[in-house]
Copies of this chain bind each other. A is one copy, B any other.
């Protein structure tokens, strides 16, 4: 019951976590969820349910937890069992207020500049569409997903499990764009993508702009995408054009991408240099710490997951989602006794590729009582989800199975 109380407490914290940021709702360029926002260590009273922001009004409100205008989480029981997350339930996390909805009115006319190549030039989306076509199904996950479980209360949105989804992006392979521009210029080590958010005059762009560099290995399956789950990419998810680097944490998938540069160095932007760095607690991020790039194996139970809703005794189908990170999820195990014993669960639905997650189910006969339900995934490379989180200052990449455990009452 302690676990249950903790979970409820965490939920309260989580829903209050965005309250300060919420004040920025509607502001034109307010950092609604800046990379270093006000601390949430004094949660205060639980705020009333927040409305979805205007650009995301089409989301299914019942499936979402609105932290702020730029941070909206999927409820733990709302992922469904299809493998692919419905678009109207996919989380939102913007580093800056998104550009005007006008930019998705004529998506084909959006321009992206390509530099650091033999023949630099720009392409409209219409032109990109002639170069090639690929679809990749993949987990999109915010670096801070699971932050709400860190005991040191890192600043930032107190996500639990729902800053993640598995979706299909369609666009042109970055490799085809490189081919059309004569190939990469010599000596380049990174692909650096710049977002199309407006930066007000007079401010140093580096402090604000969303510009992320990934190592060249990330290019292999990267695409410039104009479609998600078969629909034109909406503004909320980076339309008209988004850089997609499969397997890499959310922030590397730059929205409204206006410039892709192959560069010798990483971007000088703060979001690259100091944010999204894996530094020890109390230590500010700097380039000497790892950047948040490739994702790790992770899984969580989706149903039953509400500690306040008892489940009927008898046969219970325990379901969840499991991702492998950089290789396919191979095995997922479920425990109902807090990790003392494990049983292998079954994957359901089609295998959507190495960057996707899979839904799984374990059928269990449960007598009345309280069960500590946990799951852990192992990927094809043999990498397993660890029991414990790795502590870090900003609460990034939490894939601890123990933190994601749920206490479920069976009656």
Measured CB to CB, the residues of A under 8 A from B are 79-87, 89, 129-137, 168, 170, 227-231, 312, 314-317, 319, 348-353, 356, 359, 361, 363
Cβ of A316: which chain B residues have Cβ within 8 Å of it? Answer: 130
If A80-B227, A85-B230, A135-B82 touch, whether A129 touches B317 (CB-CB below 8 Å) is yes
Q: Which of B81, B227, B350 contacts A352 (CB 8 A)?
A: B350
Cα A83 to Cα B167 with chains together (Å): 12
If A317-B129, A363-B132 touch, whether A168 touches B349 (CB-CB below 8 Å) is yes
Q: Which of B82, B317, B356 contacts A229 (CB 8 A)?
A: B82
Report whether A231 and B80 are in contact in the complex, using a CB–CB cutoff of 8 Å.
yes
Cβ of A133: which chain B residues have Cβ within 8 Å of it? Answer: 81, 317, 319, 348, 361
Cβ of A130: which chain B residues have Cβ within 8 Å of it? Answer: 312, 314-317
Assembly stoichiometry (copies): 2
Cα A132 to Cα B316 with chains together (Å): 9
Cα A134 to Cα B83 with chains together (Å): 11
Report whether B87 and A86 are in contact in the complex, using a CB–CB cutoff of 8 Å.
yes
Report whether A170 and B87 are in contact in the complex, using a CB–CB cutoff of 8 Å.
no
If A130-B314, A350-B351 touch, whether A135 touches B230 (CB-CB below 8 Å) is no
Identify the closest chain B residue to A168 (Cβ).
B82
If A84-B84, A317-B129 touch, whether A135 touches B170 (CB-CB below 8 Å) is no
Cα A227 to Cα B137 with chains together (Å): 20
Identify the closest chain B residue to A63 (Cβ).
B231
Q: Which of B80, B81, B229, B356 contacts A350 (CB 8 A)?
A: B356
Report whether B83 and A168 are in contact in the complex, using a CB–CB cutoff of 8 Å.
yes
Cβ of A81: which chain B residues have Cβ within 8 Å of it? Answer: 133, 135, 170, 227, 230
30 intermolecular pairs with C-beta atoms under 8 Å apart: A79-B230, A80-B229, A80-B231, A81-B133, A81-B135, A82-B229, A84-B168, A85-B230, A86-B229, A86-B230, A86-B231, A129-B317, A130-B314, A130-B315, A130-B316, A130-B317, A132-B361, A133-B319, A133-B361, A134-B348, A135-B348, A135-B350, A135-B359, A168-B349, A170-B348, A350-B351, A350-B353, A350-B356, A351-B351, A352-B352
Closest Cβ of chain B to A234, distance in Å, is 12
Cα A242 to Cα B22 with chains together (Å): 42
Cβ of A348: which chain B residues have Cβ within 8 Å of it? Answer: 133-135, 170
Cα A133 to Cα B318 with chains together (Å): 10
Closest Cβ of chain B to A137, distance in Å, is 5
Identify the closest chain B residue to A318 (Cβ).
B133
Q: Which of A82, A84, A348 has the most CB of B within 10 A?
A: A82
Q: Which of A168, A314, A350, A352 has the most CB of B within 10 A?
A: A350
Cα A135 to Cα B317 with chains together (Å): 14
Cβ of A363: which chain B residues have Cβ within 8 Å of it? Answer: 132
Cα A315 to Cα B135 with chains together (Å): 19
Closest Cβ of chain B to A113, distance in Å, is 21
Cα A179 to Cα B161 with chains together (Å): 35
Cβ of A85: which chain B residues have Cβ within 8 Å of it? Answer: 230
Cα A391 to Cα B316 with chains together (Å): 50
Cβ of A359: which chain B residues have Cβ within 8 Å of it? Answer: 135
